[in-house]
Every structure is written in structure tokens, then in C-alpha cells.
Amino acid sequence: MSTTTQRPVTSIDDAGDPRLDADVAVDVGHLGEVLLGHYPELRLAARKLMADERFHRIEGQSVPEHRERVLGQLRLLAVEGDVHRSFPSRFGGFDDHGGFLARFEELTHADPSLQIKSGVQWGLFASAIYHLGTERNHDEFLADALSIKVPGAFAMTETGHGSDVAAIGTTATYDVATQEFVIHTPFRAAWKDYLGNAGQHGTAAVVFARLVTQGVDHGVHAIYVPIRDEATMEFLPGVGGEDDGLKGGLNGIDNGRLWFDHVRVPRTNLLNRYGDVTPEGVYESPIDSPGRRFFTMLGTLVQGRVSLDGAAVVASRLGLTIAVTYGNQRRQFASSSPTEEVVLLDYAEHQRRLLPLLAETYAAGFAHEDLLAAFDDVFSGRNDTPETREDLETLAAALKPTSTWHALNTLQVSREACGGAGFLAENRITGLRADLDVYATFEGDNTVLLQLVGKRLLADYSKTFKHLDAVKVARLVAERAADAARYRTPLRRATQTIADVGDPRRSAGQLRETTTQRELLVDRVETMVAEIAQALRPAQKASPQEAAALFNAHQHELVEAAKAHAELVQWESFTAALERVTDPSTRQILTWVRDLFGLSLIERHLTWYLLNGRLSAGRARTVTSYIDRLLTRLRPHAQSLVDAFGYEQVHLRAPIASGAEAGRQDEARAYYKAQRASGDAPVPEKHHR
């Protein structure tokens, strides 16, 4: 990969005066080590394996060819890919849950279809057997799932119910006479849909269905159900389905639909860790509450959201590495010199397009490492309590939407920043954008997940009132209302304006302070949650219909508060990560990147800060002007910041990021230079008189 020559960078000292930082540079090696996070050896080993062309996507393959290639790659991974890492040692694993996901995320740069198909087989199908089953299920089903002797589907989603798993229609009714469960889809909307491995390759499925015994519906449980004959690959009696066909992306995966017409399976096929049925038909569970039981079962499968968060970060890094590298080599328009065209990344607008996205990608990466650590803490058993599981689920539900939407935006902007070259399939950005599209809606629709986060924020807010008497509650509410009113008064804004007048450097100095950024971001979250809580208070005494209508009326505000919370989490993770950077020069540059992220968030929500009196108009203008200064500071380091992601050309596989563009530009410049030197250059018409 070609890098640009390090240039001096203009920065602003504490007094606000320009100075020249000739020695400020990124230690790419050190920063790369920081970015590898908690599992550097495992990530590097996975990247080394993914450098093998056997795992690379071949652009332009037909859907059948692509599917067969990915299936073959999956079988290679079963042998060479350390895919059993999160499973018990007796199945060849290490009980290393975080390390498993760290390796798994690195498959993205080989082919997202491979990453997702691996996730279906080991992260969903096999993991459901492991986490939802007991030893009897493990002994019978797990080894074949891990070896891919049995390719499997994870049959949760239905055509009529995606995110609302509790309302699925498929039933598993226990027959005492035969000691079997009867699996049935009673109507078309109950067909299992969008299932990886269901369209062609799967021979079994973990089917989620409503467990009914002795006339009682005990809610959603998981059951192991064979679906195809392993020899003929035909559906077994009572099982039917169809291929989902061509999709907008991820066409290396055979997504399909399944239906069941009174299919019988043994009682022991029930994955019975959280609920079981005796031979006599008596239901038993270690968790009495049906609601808590349901959410505990689903919580064991949170790793899907964690892995998608990490994969989205990988895709964003790939897109930006390609776009920034190309932008550092491609030249267009001779605006400042009659003989030299300008490098794209020297244009202020090009910097505005890419560098804030780069800052957000850094933030998303650091937040993902914190999520990965929390996931491993819970699933390793080191810190596994109902509270930590709830925290983990909330964190995953906040970060997965934020990073997947960010990846889609980043890839689109990166594509446009590369012009027509970015639209060519060989340069990969369009393919990544298509494959990542569905990340926004699977493993939980992003908007629905943010509603869950919003509800958790409201629940936490309500705890501040839990042990207060009525008088204290009234006083606290009044104080909050007074605080909001104080911020909205012209006097508050005037105070800021007076403090800043004639000295924009003072305003900029405050904005770059860590404490100021934190206060602004935290205050927005807390204020939004408090206002929603106040608006929803009447629901406590309303009828169910009135309460639902009131909640629906404030749904958008709830989602926006959850987004603000996720942004704050990313900023906090970035700020904490700065302490892990030991090289002073690198830490300084990375602090500018953090500031760019924080101030970009404030600029994004500037209307809120102005309307709520948190910023004066003068200080609000300073936000944008200081962002422009940060872009100028960071421009010379852009290449180093993407090089620190650690991708070689064998991982990027994008000709425009290979140095070829720099070669073309050098050839063109040498040609015109020689032409001018020889005197053979034609005279422009406007100079010919």
C-alpha cells in the first residue's frame, strides 16, 4: 500500500495561536497494536488465514457457483479455522467466547457471505444447541454441527414475525402417547423465513416454536428438527420449503423458507436447559416467570449482535482504507498550479466527507472491543449475573444498530469519493455495501433494538424515584423542570456569548476539553430521557389502550434518546482508549480524532443544543469552525490512520488502493513535464493570438 510523505501539521496551542508541529506523526505499528484490541494474536492469525485465496470471493460468480464456493470454504474452516474455540474442550474448543468472535469478525474481508454462513453454522445453529441445550443435546447433536456433518439452519424468524419472536405461530405440541413433539406451522405467515442453510444445504434446524403440553402454551422454546435426507438432500416427510432466491447481497448464502406439517420428533430433541417436559407431559423449568424465561433464552444468543457490530467495523475500515488511499493518489483539477493537479484529499470537502467517518469508525472500533470484553466476561462465567446479562444485551442492542448504519453510510460515501472507479465491482466497495445492507435488519431490526435500549434507559431513570416519598419526588421533578427552563432562558445563552465575544479561541478551547464534550453529550441523553419519562407519566394510571397510544406518540423521541446513548458510549470508549496509547505523538493525533468525533456529534445535533439553550449561537458557530481546523490538522495523517487498521493488499483486493493509481499519475506528470521541457507542448488556444 502506498503512503504519502509526512508533512508538517498546523495546530493550535493552548492560547489559540498557530504553531508548526513538524515532529507530530502517527506510530503506525503502535497504533495498529492498540486497534487489535483484546485478542491481537487471534485476529492476526485469522487475517493470515484469510490472505489465502481459497477464501476469497470471486466477483461475478453466479449464485449457484458462489453458494458452492462458500460451502467449500466453510468446510475448510471446520478443519483449519479454529471455529470450535467458544465450545467446551471435549468438543475441541477452549471455552473462549470473546476470542471466537474476534476471529469470526475477520472473515468479513474475505467475503461477508462466508462470515455470515459461518455465523449461521457455528454462531447460531451449533451455539443454540450448546447454550439452550443440556448434556443430552450436546452428546447427540453438537459434534456433527461443529464438523458440518450436519449443516444447520436457525429457524426463528417467520414470514409474519421477525423481531417479535414471542408472537411466532409455529407450535410444538407434546403427544404423551408417543412421547413426541408435533411441529406444525398452522398458517402461511408462520413459515420460517430468511434462514441461512435452509434453501439448499441444511439437513437439520433448530426450530423455535410455542411449546404446548397438557393444553398449556409455555411460550417459545427451541427444538432440534431434521429437515432433509442426508443422502438425497430431499425434504423429509412433512417438511417443505423453498429457496428465497436472489437477494440484494450475501448471495453466497442459501437463504430459504421452511414449513412443517405435523412433523414428529422425539421428546429429547427439545433443547431443555430452560424448560423441559417429562415423559408424562409435565412442564418443568428452573425459571418460574414465563417472561424472564423467554428473555433469558434469547439473551444466550446475543453473540450474533456482538459479531455483527464487529463485522460492521471491519467493513467500514475496509471502505475507508480504499477511499483514503485512492484519495491520496488520485489527482483532479489544476487549481493552484498550471502544471500540477491537486490530490483529492487536499480538497477541504473531500476531507469533510471522509475524515469524520474515519473518526466515527475509530470510535465504533473501540466501543466494539469494550462490547467484546463484556460479552466474554458474561459468557465465560467470570461475571455472569442477571444484571450483567441485561447490561450486555442493552450494550449490544445500542451498538449493533449504530455501527451497521454507520457502515452503510461509510461505504456509500467511500464509493462516491472514489468516483467511477468506486463503482467497479473489482474495487469491492459496492459489493461490501450490498452485503452489509441486511445487517441493519437481521439479528434484530435496528429501530426495534433501539426501542429496547430506550426502554432500559427509562427503567434506569425510574429507579431514581423508586425509594423517594411523594414530597421528595415532587421536589426532584420541580428541580429538573427548573433546570430545563434555566437552560432555555436567553440569559443563559447571553452568558456564553459574553464569555466568548471577541475571542473565538476561548470558545474553541472549551469545546476541545474532554470534560466539556462529555458534559454536552451526557446532558443530551439525560435531558431526552427525563423529558420522555415525564411525558409518559400519565400512562401509569391510563387504560392499556391509552397507555399504548401515549407510548406510540413518543416512540420517535425514545429511539432518538437511544441513539444519543449509543453515541455517548462510543465517545466514552474512544476516550478510555486514549490511555492505552503510550506514544505521545500518536496520542496527540488520536486525541484530535476523538475531538473530531465528539464535535461532529455535537454539530450533527446542533439544533437540539441551540433549542435547549446548551450552546449560544456564537459557540455553535465555533463548533463547525473548530471541526474545520481539526480536518486541516488530521489531513497529513489520514493515510497513517487507515494504514494502522493493518490491512494488506491481499485483504483489500482493490486495484485502486494498490498503488496503481499513483503509478498512473506519476506517468502522466512525467509525460507532461517532458513535453514542456522539450518545447513540443502545444500552446493553449487562449494563449495563442
CA distances from 414 to 98, 318, 322, 358, 663 (A): 30, 10, 8, 11, 21
Per-residue three-class SS string for 490-543: HHHHHHHHHHHCCCHHHHHHHHCCHHHHHHHHHHHHHHHHHHHHHHHHHHHHCC
- Residue 117, CB half-sphere, CA atoms under 13 Å: how many? 35
In 10 A of CB 550, how many CB atoms? 15
Q: Do the bridges between strand 152-155 and strand 18-21 make them parallel or antiparallel, or are there none, so unpaired? A: unpaired
Is the four-CA dihedral 10, 15, 17, 21 of positive or negative sign? negative
3-state secondary structure of 192: strand
Quick one: DSSP state of residue 681?
Answer: P
Per-residue three-class SS string for 224-239: EEECECCCCCCECCCE
Helix axes 290-299, 386-417, angle to 10 degrees: 50
**420, burial (CB in 10 Å: exposed 0-12, middle 13-18, buried 19+):** exposed
Name which of 73, 40, 46, 43 is nearest 58 in CA terms. 73
Residue 108 grid coordinates: 468479513
Catalytic hit among 443, 572, 603, 661: 443
- Residues 284 and 127: their CA atoms lie apart, in Å, by 23
- Residues 429 and 427: their CA atoms lie apart, in Å, by 6
Give, in degrees to the nearest 5, the angle at Cα 279 between 277 and 280: 90
- One-letter identity of residue 267: R
In 10 A of CB 243, how many CB atoms? 13
- Residues 278 and 281: their CA atoms lie apart, in Å, by 5
CA distances from 470 to 88, 451, 456, 466, 481 (A): 53, 29, 24, 10, 16
Name which of 302, 277, 142, 146 is nearest 209 in CA terms. 277
**Strands (E) located in 561-682:** none
- Residues 170 and 45: their CA atoms lie apart, in Å, by 42
Name which of 588, 577, 580 is nearest 636 in CA terms. 588
- Residues 125 and 267: their CA atoms lie apart, in Å, by 19
First-to-last alpha carbon distance for the chain, in angstroms, is 47
Q: Do the bridges between strand 18-21 and strand 9-12 make them parallel or antiparallel, or are there none, so unpaired? A: antiparallel
**Whether residue 443 lies in the annotated active site:** yes
Write out the catalytic residue numbers.
443
